[in-house]
Chains A and B, each alone.
Chain A
Amino acid sequence: MNEPALDFHASVNRGGFRLRLRLTVGAGELLAVLGPNGSGKSTLLRAIAGLAPIAEGRITLHGRVLDDVQASVLIRADARRVGMVFQDSRLFEHLRVIDNVAYAPRTRGASRSSARATAQSWLDRLGIGDLAGRRSRELSGGQAQRVAIARAFASDPAILLLDEPFAALDVQTRAAMQTELSRLLESFAGPAVLVTHDPLEALILADRIAVIENGRLVQQGTPAEITARPLTPYVAGVVGTNLYRACSSPARGVVQVQGGGQFHTDTELSAAPLLVALRPSAVTVHGRRPTEAVNVWCGMIESLRAVGDRVRLDVEARPRVCVDVSTGTVAELGLAAGVQIWLSANPVDVSVYPVPNEDHSTVTKSMSSSTARSSEASTSQ
């Protein structure tokens, strides 16, 4: 990636909570920010938009400083040219749909007719040109969100900020809107940040995913990297895989799982603390102890639930594991809660990787030390 279009390197206080991280987004790139509720995702967007003040650090967009605490630069929200889509649409109820979308062009001084022409073309692109004369309360949730997206695009934004835009929609509408959004983004030149707690949405739409927990960046990478090597239990949960902390054992090709259990693996091992990821579908269930498998352990089924056309077993074992089996297997082996089973996993599927040096934490460290230096400098002046 060249020079990032958005460079967010700041901390934001919200109540007793602090968001503190560095993120960059390239031009034309869609970064999905994934995280549990209360992790600071929306706060991040609000800070970029200028709706929440940052406590330290700086934000630049296309090389222009939006917010810089040390340099006392603060560009007001209305001068940042952000196109923001909120979860709750936030349409202007006293205006018709067309005038909602024409609001930004009007604000920039366009004549009523040219602003409406711009608005109409965006409504048409979103397939809702016939709703132009409606009031916002006459719209369904999906329609309102389309209008909100049209309104954001019509403001000719330098960056798009999408705050869980589809969270309030039903599954079908959501899927249609996701497709539509990715089509619109193809012709959008600026960076885009999509906040979501829907992992599937992030995997489908994003070029890159950043995972935030407790106001910290815990992992970022392409959807493929995130699914293959989750770094925290939360990430493992959203991508639906088993994750274990482990360390290498004296025996060659064997890792010792924290809390008990071990795996044989084909991966080259280092001495550093390790993580082990194991997909639920890569585990095989047996009624009796298998003779030929390498990784074999036993456990007791705690619960079963249907996931699509598969059944997910939660198995109490060492190590504890989630397993996906077919309904046929459930019937064949008579699987039920409380039943004792044998498990096996092919070493090829046991993905082992080191716990990374938390490079983002060193970045924030350097940020705080530079802040400290500058405050020393200002007191000595």
Chain B
Amino acid sequence: MSTPPLLIPPAAIGAAFLLLPTVGLLIRVPWSGLREIFADSGVTQALRLSIQCSLSAAGISLVLGVPLAWVLARSRLPFTQILRAGVALPLVLPPVAGGVALYLAFGRFGVLGQYLDRWFGFTLPFTTNGVIAAETFVSMPFLVVAVEGALRGAGHAQEEAAATLGASPARVFWTVTVPAVAPSIVSGLVLCWARALGEFGATITFNGSLAGVTKTMPIAVSQALEDSPQAAEALSLVLLLIALAVLVGLRQRWLHAVSA
């Protein structure tokens, strides 16, 4: 079908609007000074912290999120509808509000946090663990939603077949269910990790910005913009490259599984 002419101008403007900032970033990045900027300990520190926290958040999301997705997709427990809405909430909740909510739950005077503090001397906010908690809170739903969709769509028939072949529920889960939804687990995990890497609002609200402890890349970028814009541009370039790598990786192998 040929494209209706009326659609072309808005489509062109839309595409330009989405692409230009990236192009601008690539043009204006201080390519010659990059080596110097990345030699700055503050920058590498933020980068390392970001990688560490986002990988941890992705790992926790994997371990907790896949079982959660299974429960949402398959169990006949009551209240799953409500649970599903609650689990998806961080997807639409402004991250800053998420940070406040985390503080009210896990802060030193929070609903749960006060006991963690009193009984175990364990505090989350303003620590690296707090960053991981905030990133997990915001990013795990991406994984859960992707895997739940896959679990609903496929696998159940094969699971029944496996049961008739003598496989216990645990064996069915590991040998049939997990392989059947593996593409969705991988794509969900990558999306989840990318979201954790870029997390800003909830992290800074819950943890502040302590260099080397809670100051991740996005926070460093926003602060660098005030006193050394070139560093902000260089850090943004790194984030852009990671995003591109994620996109290419997903497109080639897993994106179809997400849409399915």
Contacts and interface: CB of A to CB of B under 8 A. Distances in A.
Interface stretch (A77-85, A312-320, A331-339): A77-85
A107 B171 contact: yes
A90 interface: yes
Nearest to A95: B179
B246 to A, nearest CB: 24
Contacts of B162: 92, 103
Interface of A: 49-51, 76-84, 86, 88, 90-95, 103-104, 107-108, 151-152, 155, 161
Contacts of B158: 90-93
B164 A51 contact: yes
A350 to B, nearest CB: 47
A85 to B, nearest CB: 9
A78 B179 contact: no
Contacts of A51: 160, 163-164
Contacts of B169: 78
Contacts of B163: 50-51, 76-78
B164 A107 contact: no
B167 interface: yes
Contacts of B160: 51, 77, 86, 90
B164 A82 contact: yes
12 contacts: A51-B164, A77-B160, A78-B163, A78-B165, A78-B172, A81-B166, A86-B161, A94-B182, A103-B162, A103-B175, A107-B165, A161-B164
Contact of A155 (B166, B172, B175): B166
B167 A107 contact: yes
B12 interface: no
A348 to B, nearest CB: 49
Given A94-B179, A94-B182, A83 B157 contact: no
A81 B163 CA distance: 10
A33 B166 CA distance: 25
Interface string B142-184: 0000000000000001101111111111011001100110100
A104 B166 contact: yes
Nearest to A155: B165
Nearest to B179: A94
B97 to A, nearest CB: 41
A92 B164 contact: no
A86 B161 CA distance: 8
Q: State which size class the interface on B falls in.
A: 10 to 19
Contacts of A76: 163, 168
A84 to B, nearest CB: 4
Contacts of A95: 179
Contacts of A151: 165
Given A93-B180, A94-B182, A84 B168 contact: no
Contacts of A78: 163-169, 172
A50 B176 CA distance: 18
Contacts of A50: 163-164
Contacts of B165: 78, 103-104, 107, 151-152, 155
Contacts of A83: 164
Contacts of B168: 76, 78
Q: Nearest 6 pairs between A and B by C-beta?
A: A90-B161, A94-B179, A77-B163, A104-B165, A84-B164, A107-B166
Interface in B104-127: none
Contacts of A155: 164-166
A79 to B, nearest CB: 8
Nearest to B176: A92
Given A94-B180, A94-B182, A107-B171, A88 B157 contact: yes
Interface in B162-209: 162-169, 171-172, 175-176, 179-180, 182
B157 to A, nearest CB: 5
A107 B167 CA distance: 6
B162 to A, nearest CB: 7
Nearest to A94: B179
Given A77-B160, A104-B165, 8 more contacts: A51-B164, A86-B161, A90-B157, A91-B161, A92-B180, A103-B167, A107-B167, A155-B166
Contacts of B172: 78
A92 B176 CA distance: 7
A90 B162 CA distance: 9
A161 B161 CA distance: 12
A273 B165 CA distance: 48
Given A78-B168, A104-B166, A107-B171, A84 B161 contact: yes
